[in-house]
A and B are shown apart, each in its own frame.
Chain A
Amino acid sequence: MPEPMLLEFRDVNTHYGDLHVLKHVDYAIAKGEIIALLGGNACGKSTTMKTIMGVVRPTSGTVQFDGKAIERLPTAERVRRGIAPVLEARRLFPRMTVFENLEMGAYLRKRGTEFDEDLERVYDLFPRVKERRNQIAGTLSGGEQQMVAMGRALMARPRLLCMDEPSMGLSPRYVEQVFDIIQTINRQGTTIFMVEQNANMALSVAHRAYVLQTGQVVLSGTAEELRRNPLIREAYLGEMQVPAA
């Protein structure tokens, strides 16, 4: 029997009241992949993230993590099993220190050597976060906050990192840095599922991608395939000069 997918959506539907948001959505993410989820505004990208975290419950369909159904589990249990979010717009706890934010990332874990190791790892990845560890999180720049948000998620020692718009509102310098670090984290063994408006950047680091339109998966394939797809080039990569492969 093949190894189960790390995360799998099967025929998932979600509703906000009468509004049908995700419509018969399927995703399959294998261990070790970087998957990008592309799409315009209000297409269901954030709802996908919320459905993974258990903030939104599907009205039908199943969500499996590591081969087991999780769609009925409370959020805390999903975090315990190894899913951690990097939330849209960072969402740090603004009046707590950077260190306290990192501690909150490890909320369900015991303090001890593993915590210390993970803290070292976060500080290695983000030297800036280490410098700022005693500063109140709300006073950091957007880019620094994004580093803390990623560090906070890593403190959960996740197997699946769900990132909602990691590049949003960041200066180009930070965008590059964030995507570099995404690749580093992935090489260190964490599977990554990211929602991203910046299709150009997302496809440059992702292995595969899904394209969501009004709640439906309209396209999926390897990053390379999608980059060559005329529809994608027109709709999402419009501003980009795609070099001939």
Chain B
Amino acid sequence: MTTFDLLLQQTINGLSLGAMYSLLALGFTLVYGILELINFAHFNVFMVGSFIAMGVLQLFGLNGQEVILTGLPLAMVLIAAFAVTMVASGALGVAIEVLSLRPLRNVKGPAAMITTIGVSYILFNVVLLSQGADAKNFPNPLPTKRFQIGGATLDLRVILIWIVALALMAGLYVFVQRSKMGKAMRATAQDPEAARMMGVEVDRVIVTAFFLGSALAGAGGLIFGLYYNFTSFIIGFTAGLRAFTAAVLGGIGNVPGAMVGGVLIGLIEAMAGQFIATAWADVIIFSILVLVLVFKPAGLFGRLAPQKS
């Protein structure tokens, strides 16, 4: 492969990773934008999402890469898998908010953030104890179909991942920009007290943010399984930290920023893996996090967090 082909190939890989990080980063940014809370439970909502997705695919009789579907059955299975995974993950996010965070709403200091770390460990250990420590072979019903672009390969599943991620992000963007609840979310992020005095019920806005963010994390977990053909109780940590970095890079609280940040992190990871060494990818990603925090604390695109009045 020529350097150009390698560059092209890693761009394809990076965009796929980036799609996943973007979906995950949105959950951090939606919640942070409204509550100024870093939700560490989000790491493992993503992980649980990928286990839910595995369960749904297994319900369809899919196991590993044995069963390959095409056409309508494939489309139906994928739509059902995304729908169920997203709703279930969204519900998990809502449960976390209502049961563990709402009671702490008026407690000042880091209590809520610490709680999210605790919840994250609960999810982590529940999956570890109930599912075991070994990596699971993730059902993948997609036919292996590859397209050659120059010297690079574009896999059918990569195209699918891009389409799904783009559709979900476009849907979220339209929701936040145009729907009444989306406008209430933006208003609450910009000035919670004023939003409340317009009649916005802030608790409902918060629940919506958790539902949407967690549903997208669930979709990310399904995409992770389809992309890597495995899942494990441990996947939340690395992916979660990278996605969090993506959210900070794009300006935490900023929805388009999280999308772009995710893609950038995915590209950096792929390029670093190719041209430096895979082991250095995280060093580079987190060095970028530190540099961004030092030189541009508001992120590349500024943040949309609550204003202090």
A-B complex is real: yes
Interface residues of A (CB under 8 A from B): 53, 55, 74-76, 79-80, 85, 87, 89, 91-96, 100, 103-105, 107-108, 152, 156
> CB within 8 Å of A: which of B169-220?
180, 183-184, 186-187, 190-191, 193-201
Q: With an 8 A cutoff between CB atoms, is B144 at the interface?
A: no
What 4 additional pairs, Cβ within 8 angstroms, besides A91-B191, A94-B190, A104-B200? A76-B199, A95-B186, A107-B180, A108-B198
Establish whether residues B183 and A91, one from each chain, have CB atoms under 8 Å apart when the complex forms: no
In the complex, what distance in Å separates the CA atom of A152 from the CA atom of B191?
15
Tell me which residues across on chain B come within 8 A of A93, comparing CB atoms: 186-187, 190-191, 194-195
Tell me which residues across on chain A come within 8 A of B196, comparing CB atoms: 55, 75-76
> CB within 8 Å of A: which of B276-309?
304, 307, 309
Q: Which residue of B lies closest to A75 (CB)?
A: B196
Tell me which residues across on chain B come within 8 A of A91, comparing CB atoms: 191, 193-194, 309
Establish whether residues A55 and B307, one from each chain, have CB atoms under 8 Å apart when the complex forms: no
Establish whether residues B198 and A79, one from each chain, have CB atoms under 8 Å apart when the complex forms: yes
Q: How many residues of B contact A (CB 8 A)?
A: 19
**Given A76-B199, A80-B199: A87 in contact with B194 (beta carbons within 8 A):** yes
**Which listed residue (A55, A75, A80, A104) contacts B187, Cβ 8 A?**
A104
Between A and B, 22 residue pairs with Cβ closer than 8 Å are: A55-B193, A75-B196, A76-B199, A80-B199, A89-B309, A91-B309, A93-B186, A93-B190, A93-B194, A94-B190, A94-B191, A94-B307, A95-B190, A96-B186, A96-B190, A104-B184, A104-B195, A107-B180, A107-B184, A107-B198, A107-B200, A108-B198
In the complex, what distance in Å separates the CA atom of A75 from the CA atom of B193?
10
Establish whether residues A105 and B198, one from each chain, have CB atoms under 8 Å apart when the complex forms: yes
Tell me which residues across on chain A come within 8 A of B184, comparing CB atoms: 104, 107
B34 to chain A, nearest CB (A): 13
Q: Which 7 A-B pairs have the closest CB atoms?
A: A79-B199, A108-B199, A91-B194, A76-B199, A93-B190, A107-B198, A107-B199
A138 to chain B, nearest CB (A): 9
Establish whether residues A95 and B304, one from each chain, have CB atoms under 8 Å apart when the complex forms: yes
In the complex, what distance in Å separates the CA atom of A227 from the CA atom of B235?
72
A109 to chain B, nearest CB (A): 9
**Which listed residue (A75, A94, A95, A100) contacts B199, Cβ 8 A?**
A75
Establish whether residues A100 and B197, one from each chain, have CB atoms under 8 Å apart when the complex forms: no
**Which listed residue (B180, B187, B193, B201) contacts A96, Cβ 8 A?**
B187
Tell me which residues across on chain B come within 8 A of A74, comparing CB atoms: 201
Q: Which residue of B lies closest to A149 (CB)?
A: B194
**Given A91-B194, A93-B194, A95-B304: A76 in contact with B200 (beta carbons within 8 A):** yes
Q: Which of A74, A75, A85, A89 counts the most B-chain CB atoms under 10 A from its CB? A: A75
In the complex, what distance in Å separates the CA atom of A152 from the CA atom of B183?
14
Q: Which residue of B lies closest to A109 (CB)?
A: B199
Q: Which of B184, B193, B194, B304 counts the most A-chain CB atoms under 10 A from its CB? A: B194
In the complex, what distance in Å separates the CA atom of A53 from the CA atom of B198?
10
Establish whether residues B183 and A104, one from each chain, have CB atoms under 8 Å apart when the complex forms: yes
Tell me which residues across on chain A come within 8 A of B191, comparing CB atoms: 91, 93-94
A143 to chain B, nearest CB (A): 19
In the complex, what distance in Å separates the CA atom of A165 from the CA atom of B69?
67
Tell me which residues across on chain A come within 8 A of B307, comparing CB atoms: 94
Tell me which residues across on chain B come within 8 A of A103, comparing CB atoms: 183
Q: Which residue of A lies closest to B304 (CB)?
A: A95
In the complex, what distance in Å separates the CA atom of A85 from the CA atom of B200?
13
B189 to chain A, nearest CB (A): 9
In the complex, what distance in Å separates the CA atom of A55 from the CA atom of B200?
13
Tell me which residues across on chain A come within 8 A of B200, comparing CB atoms: 76, 104, 107
In the complex, what distance in Å separates the CA atom of A96 from the CA atom of B194?
13
In the complex, what distance in Å separates the CA atom of A74 from the CA atom of B199?
9
Q: Mark B211-246, 1 if CB is under 8 A from A, else 0.
A: 000000000000000000000000000000000000
Q: Mark B101-144, 1 if CB is under 8 A from A, else 0.
A: 00000000000000000000000000000000000000000000
In the complex, what distance in Å separates the CA atom of A190 from the CA atom of B309?
29
Q: Which residue of B lies closest to A105 (CB)?
A: B198
Q: Which of B183, B196, B199, B309 counts the most A-chain CB atoms under 10 A from its CB? A: B199
